[in-house]
């Protein structure tokens, strides 16, 4: 079978990625089938450098807290703070400890040094302030949005004072209670204060939209964009906490779906600013529905990639990454009748294939899904090839 598709698969070079696509996308999404492998992040860095230097891309967005990422963006664009501070405070999920992420941030700062603002590269996070164990308080985002508006619009237009927000929010610990993820009764998300905050957050976001002409004249577009980010994040977190307090069978489906919806809103905002490379798990970027089992219950929801693709069409492109072996994780040579096995039989260590032509060449040939002994690695579903524009394959992933 490998012989029949050899002519459709090429050794990976960063310059070839856009050649698979009918148009240059505003969002080029590069997925990964597992987290924490430095080889995948090194490859991402290689692709981003090419896109910046040869294709005019100016932003990279990663699967990390969108508010924390502002610390990294300030560092790489203006030199605010230090590299160590950016890595410690600018990433969520522990990604700041990655050597490849550190290399990326260092390269971005070096490239921006001495360049005009219009030529600087930016760093963004697409994830909400969420972890598997819970969600952050909406306090930071609400306070930042209120502060931006209070400094620029008439006080009578504001729906509340900063003091009222602080009183309703209370201490962060009310919102970050770890037990709330498994016990809805421990969540503050449907309290009278939370309900009132949802109304105020919506009113603040509406005021931000209504005052757009004035605000763009009175402040920089970057500050206005950040205010919109604070608004998206505040309303998203309040909605997430609302569903954490739910007791219906739909609770977990709504929570995982809300996370991807927050990602999609951030991605669409980035697309409006110019071409960007996005890096996250394949399951967040694919055009197909995402699925998982949690506590014995199957969950299905539309991924961020599916939501964005529905809006952007060909201006959204998705390259999925598949792997041959990750031996240090117990993932050995893939069986020959799997998609990974088909690609593993080819001589290239890193290769790239356009999925429409690959799917057509396979025709009626049936490839079975690959199983993985390691929960952290999600093989590609050969039935879902149409959900990606291309596949980037790494034959062997070694420890970082």
- For strands 276-281 and 27-32, give the pairing: parallel
pTM: 0.96
286: its two tokens: 């694919």
Structure tokens at 83: 């590299």
Report CA dihedral (204, 201, 73, 37) to the nearest 10 degrees: -160
Exposed/middle/buried for 21, CB within 10 Å: 0-12, 13-18, 19+?
middle
Beta strands in the chain (DSSP E): 9-11, 27-32, 59-65, 122-127, 130-131, 134-135, 276-281, 289-294, 297-302, 316-325, 350-354, 390-396
Residues 6+ apart with CB under 8 A from 390: 17, 20, 21, 317, 318, 319, 320, 352, 353, 354, 355
* 6-10, 306-310, 361-365: the lowest-pLDDT one: 361-365
SS3 label, residue 57: coil
Model pLDDT, residue 4: 67
Taking the chain, what is the end-to-end CA distance rounded to the nearest angstrom? 32
Give the pLDDT confidence of 279-296 residue by residue, as tens digits: 999 999 999 999 888 877
Place 209 in a pLDDT band, splitting at 50, 70 and 90.
Answer: very high
Query: What's the rounded mean pLDDT across residues 227-232?
Result: 98
* Contact (CB, 8 A) for 316 and 285: no
pLDDT tens digits, residue range 235-280? 999 999 999 999 999 999 999 999 999 999 999 999 999 999 999 9
State the Cα angle at 283 between 65 and 123, rounded to 5°. 30
Q: What SS3 class is residue 329?
A: helix
Strand, coil or helix: what is 71?
Answer: helix
Q: State CA 37 to chain mean position distance.
A: 17
């Amino acid at each position: 079978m490998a012989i029949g598709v050899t002519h459709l698969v090429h050794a990976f070079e960063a310059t070839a990625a856009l050649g698979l696509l009918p148009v240059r996308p505003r969002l080029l999404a590069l997925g990964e089938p597992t987290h924490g492998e430095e080889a995948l992040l090194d490859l991402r860095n290689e692709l981003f450098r090419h896109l910046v230097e040869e294709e005019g891309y100016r932003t990279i967005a990663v699967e990390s807290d969108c508010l924390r990422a502002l610390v990294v963006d300030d560092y790489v664009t203006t030199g605010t703070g230090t590299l160590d501070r950016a890595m410690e405070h600018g990433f969520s999920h522990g990604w700041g400890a990655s050597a490849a992420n550190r290399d990326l941030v260092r390269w971005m700062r070096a490239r921006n040094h001495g360049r005009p603002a219009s030529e600087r590269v930016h760093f963004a996070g697409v994830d909400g302030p969420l972890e598997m164990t819970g969600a952050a308080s909406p306090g930071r985002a609400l306070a930042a949005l209120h502060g931006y508006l209070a400094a620029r619009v008439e006080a009578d237009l504001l729906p509340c004072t900063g003091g009222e927000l602080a009183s309703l929010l209370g201490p962060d610990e009310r919102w970050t209670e770890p037990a709330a993820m498994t016990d809805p009764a421990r969540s503050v998300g449907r309290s009278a204060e939370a309900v009132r905050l949802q109304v105020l957050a919506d009113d603040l976001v509406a005021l931000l939209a209504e005052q757009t002409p004035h605000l763009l004249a009175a402040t920089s577009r970057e500050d206005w964009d950040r205010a919109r980010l604070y608004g998206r994040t505040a309303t998203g977190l309040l909605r997430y906490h609302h569903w954490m307090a739910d007791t219906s069978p739909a609770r977990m489906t709504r929570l995982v779906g809300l996370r991807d919806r927050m990602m999609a809103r951030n991605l669409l905002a980035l697309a409006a600013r110019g071409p960007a490379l996005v890096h996250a798990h394949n399951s967040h970027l694919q055009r197909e529905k995402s699925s998982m089992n949690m506590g014995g219950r199957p969950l299905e929801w539309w991924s961020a990639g599916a939501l964005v693709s529905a809006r952007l069409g060909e201006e959204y492109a998705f390259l999925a990454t598949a792997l041959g072996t990750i031996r240090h994780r117990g993932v050995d040579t893939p069986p020959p009748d799997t998609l990974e096995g088909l690609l593993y039989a080819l001589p290239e260590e890193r290769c790239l294939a356009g999925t429409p032509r690959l799917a057509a060449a396979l025709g009626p040939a049936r490839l079975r899904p690959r199983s993985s002994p390691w929960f952290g690695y999600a093989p590609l579903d050969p039935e879902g090839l149409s959900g990606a524009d291309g596949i980037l394959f790494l034959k062997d992933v070694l420890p970082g």
